[in-house]
Structure 1
Amino acid sequence: MPAYRERDVVSDAPEGLTCSEAQSRLREEGFNELPRTGHRSLPRIALEVVREPMFGLLIGAGLIYLLLGDHTEALLLLAFASISVMIAIVQESRSERVLEALRDLTSPRALVIRDGERQRIPGREVVRGDLIVLDEGDRVPADAQLLTAIDMQVDESLLTGESAPVGKVASGDASPGPRPGGDGLPFVFSGTLIVRGQGTARVTATGARSEIGRIGQALEAIDSAPPRLTLETRKLVRRFALFGLVACSLTVILYGLWRGSWLDALLAGIALGMSMLPEEFPLVLTVFTVMGAWRISRIRVLTRRASAIETLGAATVLCTDKTGTLTENRMTVVALAIDGDILRLDAGLPPALPDRFRHLIDHGRLACAPDPFDPMEKAFHALAAQHGHALPPASSTRVHSYGLRPDLLAVTQLWQGPGDSEVVIASKGAPEAIATLCRLDATARAALARDVDRMAADGMRVLAVAEATHHGNDWPASPTAFVFTLLGLVGLADPLRASVPEAVRECRSAGLRVVMITGDYPATALAIAGRAGLATDRCVSGDELAAMSDAELGRHVASIPVFARVMPDQKLRIVRALKAGGAIVAMTGDGVNDAPSLKAADIGIAMGGRGTDVAREAASLVLLDDDFGSIVRTVRLGRRIYDNLRKAMGYILAIHVPIAGLALLPLLTGLPLIFSPIHIAFLEMIIDPVCSVVFEAEQEEKDIMRRPPRAEDSHLFSSGLVYWSLLQGALVLAVIATLYLLALWRGMPEADVRALTFVSLVLANLGLVLVNRSFDSSVRGALRGGNRALWWVGSVALLLLGLALAWAPARTLFRFGPLHVDDLAIAVVPVVGLVIVLEALKRFWRGRLTA
């Protein structure tokens, strides 16, 4: 049995605070939790969302159609508006839960000593000065200084990103504690986990004053700027709305003054205003983000903020954490070394493992706890279960233990079978400590140090293992009294994910620079970076980073591939420096320490499997399967979504030119009106699903992952796209207007002219869809490409058009005259010729469209 019983370490501990002192400090300093400053209620979030111009225009457009009696279109637009508002409210309210998750993590129950007695209290009631009792498996409730510690190991990866637990020692020094990370320190931090050992500690900081509290304050201080695409669309909508309002007002006034019929003037003004009303822009943005989130979810990526979808294709830098992101976040034995002979296990074990290595594996497990909590000891057990001799026998018992001491960083376990007089002793720990136990001479120590350096250069955490025997049950006070024999070295590491190297290569081909930012040691970081395929020519440590001014960091950050031993506030500095330099930053992470940088990045990507709630709540995207390769597939989808969004927006601009032109032409020439509000409503029933559903379903361009990210200052409506859309619209307007004037010149009845013109416009609309389906392929390729939504929408549009022409009540409603076969030919032939001309022109315009 162990030499100590649970909690014996606190038998001589001081009495701690009195209950009255604790209550007084609780009133003075507040609860041990993060403050709720700036919390937004659900009604406040809803009001902010509804006030957005895009949603206001959607609702306004629906009300206009409702007043005009077109209930179908009105309800459709109002439904889209309601869905958009609900999605935005849900997303905004989720972002408010970031600090809630952090509060839950920082408020575990705690065992404290007050008035000389142990009391189990809620973590939020722990105060500065409290004496807390810590044991294996406990979550530390507050920042504290260790007064006593026996063999204590703490997992601080949530705060540092370092996968391996760190050793802790007791200290009577009351000086302020350093930041998390590093072995042999007498400080523990709120939210971290005790993986081995026990001890007592005096609380030094609670709530917002703790290390994890600083992260919470950093999260509160970060404002998420509105996405550039949203701002650009909002500005465009305002301009179109203002222009449409002015044109509508002038039309009503001029028509009424020139023709004397103010009712017709009002109808003509409404028709013109509706032809220019840009309700499709926010509609398209909403549909694309919702459908984009659905498509991304199919590759096991959860979209928490729809704005990230529109930014994915522009990402230029991917800042990735190491632990749990590039690696599997589990310790594994990757190498064994005996007398300079290093056996690497990550390349696969030989068919027959030599007995001396199996002996090393066996005694490495014997030096661990029987049922370990420490991830390194779990790795020893896992390896011994596969390749050891299954020693000691099941009947053997651990009869004594020697834990870590500040002067001897080694753990020693003693095992004895029933009736045996011989005790098997196994020890593992820092190579220097094991060298002391084995009483190695200078030559042997130098050889051991060379092997350690070789393994450490590959990013391994190196432990040495030794064995000894003893007879009897009289245990010495220190393991140094035994005569140990060195068995060898064991190298442990957090293995690289198998999908990472290929994902990094794809990122590079897509022009996406990958930067590692980790709390681990430089040697480990560089070793992992090399295996992942990242550049390893330069590594900057947290200390070097702290010595840099913001200006110096801004100059160098674009050329540094690896940052190591980085603290949470320094990660935030790196992200901000990259963004200040014009980069569009995607940041991956899984720990609490990653939350501020995840929120500050343009795209925060959290790991869903091993990631903390805090990281997931702060991120824009969550990888549900923790597969780094999913990031590349997400970038590919993001680029496809943005491409299709530009196609849809270009199509909207192009089709509105002939609609507005044909609505305005009779007003300027005194010729019969072509459109009334019912005609515009019919066209919108075609345009809305085409620009949203049809273009959203388009396949990706062939070069989507071979082109660089779009420029930081690029616009959704680039000059090339705007000119191309206006050119398409102008040509369509010229063809349809010519047909309209020729039909009037030939003396066709007004109703027949209106029908001919309207049919030509609907066919030209479908022709524009075929031309704009791809920046690269031809109409013939577009016709071959699979897009079921296109065929459904096109078939329904032609069916409804035929019904409007053939069904007498519909003809009366639309004020159409009958069209004959030759009339339909007159409408079809010019449109076919128009599509051929546009397709030829697209070949010369292609470079400007994808720029």
Structure 2
Amino acid sequence: MSDTQNQAEPTHGLSAAQAAQALQDDGPNELAGEQHRGLLAIARETLSDPMFALLLAAGVLYLALGDLQEGLILFGLVLVVLALTLYQEGKTERAIESLRDLTSPRALVWRDGTATRIAGREVVRGDLLVLAEGDRIPADALLIQGTEVQTDESLLTGEPLPVDKVALPVKEAHNTPPLNGQTAPESTLFSGTLLVRGHGLARVTAIGAHSEIGRIGQALGGLSSETSPLKLQMAQLVKVLAWVAVGASLFLFLAHGWLRGDWLGALLSGIALAMALLPQEFTVVLTVIPALGAWRLSKQNVLTRRISAIETLGATSVLCVDKTGTLTENRMTVTELFAPQTAATEADPVHVNTLTIDYGTTTELPEDFHTLVEFSILASVADPFDPMEKAFHRLGQHFLQDTEHLHRDWTLMQTYGLTPELRAMSHVWRAREGDAHVVAAKGAPEAIVDLCHLDAAAQQHIDRAVEAMAAKGLRVLGVAHARFEGQEWPAIEHDFDFKFIGLLGLADPLRAEIPQAVVQAHAAGIRVVMITGDYPVTAAAIARQAGLPTGPMDHASHTPDTASASAGLTVTSDWLLTGDDLSRLSDTDLQHRMRTVSICARVAPTQKLRIVQALKANGEVVAMTGDGVNDAPALKAAHVGVAMGKRGTDVAREAASVVLLNDNFAAIVAAVRLGRRIFDNLRKSMSYILAVHVPIAGMALLPVLLGWPTVLYPLHIAFLELVIDPSCSMVFENEPEEADVMQRPPRLVNTPLFGGLTLGLAFLQGLGALALVLAATAWGADQLTEGATRAFAFAVLVCTNLALIFSNRSRTGSLWASLRVPNRTLWLVVGAALGLLLLALYVPWLARLFVFDPLPLRYLGAAAGLGLVCIGWFELLKPRAAGAGGESAPG
């Protein structure tokens, strides 16, 4: 057993070298049962595909007939196609593996004296975990710092009540060995359990299979293997085509054998037709394009936890986003202070009680505001994580550094946390001198006013100050203080005798890229709804900066909205909804209101679920952001739940299908753009696959029925697969988005991949290609030998195949426009296809294998010309393709 944990400093965590050694000694922090497909498993799955079974059967048949060269070539093609599949699937698996690493529970640990967020699988014994409310604990650990810590251990015990945890002294925790299944002390935190209250530090004692949850044999985490609607749709289509292939192959076998008496040739023709009709590429495409799309999203700081969410991203019609940290920078700075008029005199009846702070020019803080800053710090944690509390500490360090108002030697005795009923928190401190305890409270102004039991005149005075600050887009918090004798702490904060101190206004600047992202969202037909706990006036100020639709505020002295607490602000605007309004509305009324709302202010996290449900009832496809424990139900209920990667809790991340690694709204819009691109490329690829199999199947069947010589043998089909496989996956996956991708309205979420005319147009493309190949075959038969006619028909078939690739690159744009769009993979595939075609036509021993006679060059030129004719025919279909119905939601 490694003694890495004994080498670490008790409160500074491991060094990077120690962590690397521990990871090498003990392995990653993951449980048995997590499946990772290796190349051998991929090869085994690939060889079990019906297409390969048919290729192998044809090769065995040739060998049985004594045609060693033909059989070996077919087996060689099996290896080539297998290698190509291994490359594609391996690339996909690497992308999925990187997503697995990202989607494992994240952990904040001290490494080299710095708090660093890592994947949960990289946590090692001896690591020092930094834990906050809502975190999923990544490994068994001992709590060494923390107050009021509670965990939900129902995953292990089935007991729903939270369990209190008590911190061990640092040295004792540092020297405590792993539990090894023995009775756990009250300071032990278990892997997989949830921190539901408090925050603290914990030393890791056991990881992976050695943790308590690993010991009892439970497995957690990993990507869930869901069957997406597209895969269900494709499975049904492939099943139908498989039955058609079996029936058609059997029919061709009987017809060929009966008409020509060549039952061996009939068997080869039947195998070729079955290969032509079995579009095994569908399953490849549905794996490769979404998985690589998810990998591309991760490069834009958007993690897709469920691949199926990519289908829905492009269909999103409403984005519900948090204000703080998502639209704004989550970089709080105190810019304004307000204290009541306690120093007014006859000489100065209008005492200035509001101060605007500019850290660059404000050199001194007036005495009237010292107490306000002092108690804002006392009401915060000593080592804050929250940006607001960091701003209070920064303010105190800047202006009160050498005064008696900073109390680093006081002892925290009791805390009262925020609750849905009272949006305020309080800390009870034991001062260095005196018997009385000092109580500091901070929170929403209306909650602080409520705690202080102020009269109506004082409330109106404070309300006006709140409204003035909020109108500037500031987040406003109130501060109060009290004194308390004795040790019997009241059950609720209302039992303290609080006195109001003042207000602090915090600025959180809008992210620079937000206005442009909102413009893009609106152009794409996506409505953006901002959800915040701030005042309506504050929310409206930020919304106007962001470019969200707002209107004038409605003020009235009657029927005041208590949630606003802004001089009797009554919210009757169609674009604004407050939490109190929401709680009074029925579900039906809320659905009606949410058709026009762009701002939801003073909303509690628990109310987000009703907002999501109302929008869904209106037929919207909803993406909802969230970061807290209480956001999880809304994230799970939304079509696309979007959790915050930096400030979000593990509970929120687990409930969401998408995680923003940089917490930025602009990344959501980029994800929608990429989601639309991925769906477009899937549609293009599927259309190509369906279209290209029509001429191949037709040329395997029709010549026999028309009494012509056989045109396609299994070797020809295998050659065509070398072009089709990389084209349908890698070429179309690399296609950039259409120019109008963010100018279309969202598609309907239940739109099938082949909606409206798309399916018919794919068949029309295929029938057009088939008609050209048939015409070329008939023309060549009058002038060429049978082998040369076959070579000519095959060359035309390859050229029409390439024409289908070029035509399907863009569903609406012209060919010339698409040629200017770079796609390196396209030109590699086209070059390889033409090079292999020339080898098959003009290398004598290869030509004999393909049963070709020498093809005059003018016929090769004619084949290329027919390919261009095919492109022209496809271009005429594009205006109809643009109008294929059923793809967009109503505007």
Give 2:198's match in structure 1, choosing from 193, 197, 200.
193
Matched residues in 1 for 2:519 and 2:583: separation? 31
**Aligned: 1:352 with 2:354:** no
SS at 1:368's partner residue?
Answer: helix
- Which residue is 1:313 aligned to? 314
Q: Matches of residues 289-438 of structure 1 in structure 2 within 5 Å? A: 289-329=290-330, 331-337=332-338, 339=351, 342=354, 349=358, 352-353=361-362, 355=364, 360=369, 364-365=373-374, 368-369=377-378, 372-373=382-383, 375=386, 376-386=388-398, 388=399, 390-392=401-403
Matched-pair contact (CA < 8 Å) for 1:428–1:466: yes
Matched residues in 2 for 1:553 and 1:440: separation? 34
Give 1:508's match in structure 2, choosing from 511, 518, 522.
522
- Which residue is 1:700 aligned to? 737
Give 2:616's match in structure 1, choosing from 562, 579, 584.
579
- Which residue is 2:662 aligned to? 625
- Which residue is 2:487 aligned to? none
SS at 1:719's partner residue?
Answer: coil
Matched residues in 1 for 2:78 and 2:676: separation? 37
AA partner of residue 198 (structure 2): L
Matched-pair contact (CA < 8 Å) for 2:730–2:825: yes
Give 1:639's match in structure 2, choosing from 668, 676, 679.
676
Structure 1 residue 751 displacement after superposition: 0.5
Matched-pair contact (CA < 8 Å) for 1:586–1:605: yes
Structure 1 residue 759 displacement after superposition: 0.8
Give 1:596's match in structure 2, choosing from 633, 636, 657.
633
Deviation track 1:246-283 (CA, whole Å, cap 9, x = no partner) reads 21121112222222222211111111111111111121
- Which residue is 1:792 aligned to? 828
Distance 1:770 1:433, change over 3 A: closer
- Which residue is 1:674 aligned to? 711
Matched residues in 2 for 1:665 and 1:510: separation? 46
Matched residues in 1 for 2:874 and 2:654: separation? 47
Give 1:811's match in structure 2, choosing from 837, 840, 847.
847
RMSD of aligned Cα (Å): 5.2
Distance 1:396 1:314, change over 3 A: closer
**Aligned: 1:780 with 2:813:** no
Matched-pair contact (CA < 8 Å) for 1:315–1:709: yes
Identity of aligned residues (%): 41
AA partner of residue 777 (structure 1): G
AA partner of residue 353 (structure 1): T
- Which residue is 1:166 aligned to? none
- Which residue is 2:281 aligned to? 280
Q: Matches of residues 210-229 of structure 1 in structure 2 within 5 Å? A: 226-229=227-230
Matched-pair contact (CA < 8 Å) for 2:812–2:881: no
Matched-pair contact (CA < 8 Å) for 2:452–2:480: no
- Which residue is 1:267 aligned to? 268
Deviation track 1:34-88 (CA, whole Å, cap 9, x = no partner) reads xxxxxx9949999xxx9xxxx8997232333333334225524764678879988
Deviation track 1:688-722 (CA, whole Å, cap 9, x = no partner) reads 11121112212221111111111234221123322
Bigger shift: residues 82-91 or 300-309: 82-91
- Which residue is 2:464 aligned to? 450
- Which residue is 1:115 aligned to? none
Matched residues in 2 for 1:835 and 1:707: separation? 26
Matched-pair contact (CA < 8 Å) for 1:542–1:566: yes
Matched-pair contact (CA < 8 Å) for 1:366–1:413: no
Bigger shift: residues 436-445 or 801-810: 436-445
Structure 1 residue 239 displacement after superposition: 2.1
Matched-pair contact (CA < 8 Å) for 1:58–1:283: no
Structure 1 residue 738 displacement after superposition: 1.0
SS at 1:738's partner residue?
Answer: helix
- Which residue is 1:462 aligned to? 477
Matched-pair contact (CA < 8 Å) for 2:309–2:657: yes
Matched residues in 2 for 1:73 and 1:676: separation? 18
Distance 1:415 1:823, change over 3 A: same
Matched-pair contact (CA < 8 Å) for 1:244–1:273: yes
Distance 1:695 1:611, change over 3 A: same
Q: Matches of residues 140-289 of structure 1 in structure 2 within 5 Å? A: 191-193=196-198, 226-289=227-290
Matched residues in 1 for 2:162 and 2:659: separation? 38
Matched residues in 2 for 1:663 and 1:541: separation? 67
Matched residues in 2 for 1:129 and 1:292: separation? 41
- Which residue is 1:749 aligned to? 785
Matched residues in 2 for 1:495 and 1:108: separation? 38
Matched residues in 1 for 2:631 and 2:451: separation? 40
SS at 1:604's partner residue?
Answer: strand
Structure 1 residue 740 displacement after superposition: 0.6
- Which residue is 2:51 aligned to? 61
AA partner of residue 104 (structure 1): I
- Which residue is 2:863 aligned to? 827
- Which residue is 1:178 aligned to? none
Structure 1 residue 585 displacement after superposition: 2.1
- Which residue is 1:104 aligned to? 137
Matched residues in 2 for 1:119 and 1:642: separation? 48
Matched-pair contact (CA < 8 Å) for 2:151–2:197: no
Matched-pair contact (CA < 8 Å) for 2:681–2:732: yes
Deviation track 1:489-541 (CA, whole Å, cap 9, x = no partner) reads 42246654444343223212211122234566666655654554434544445
- Which residue is 2:67 aligned to? none
- Which residue is 2:346 aligned to? none
TM-score, normalised relative to structure 2: 0.66
SS at 1:716's partner residue?
Answer: coil
Matched residues in 1 for 2:453 and 2:89: separation? 78
Matched-pair contact (CA < 8 Å) for 2:144–2:168: no
Matched residues in 2 for 1:437 and 1:253: separation? 90
Structure 1 residue 810 displacement after superposition: 0.7
- Which residue is 1:169 aligned to? none
SS at 1:192's partner residue?
Answer: strand
Unaligned runs of 5+ in 2: 1-30, 59-74, 107-119, 121-133, 171-193, 201-219, 340-350, 483-497, 551-572
Structure 1 residue 378 displacement after superposition: 3.3
- Which residue is 1:766 aligned to? 802
Matched residues in 2 for 1:136 and 1:496: separation? 42
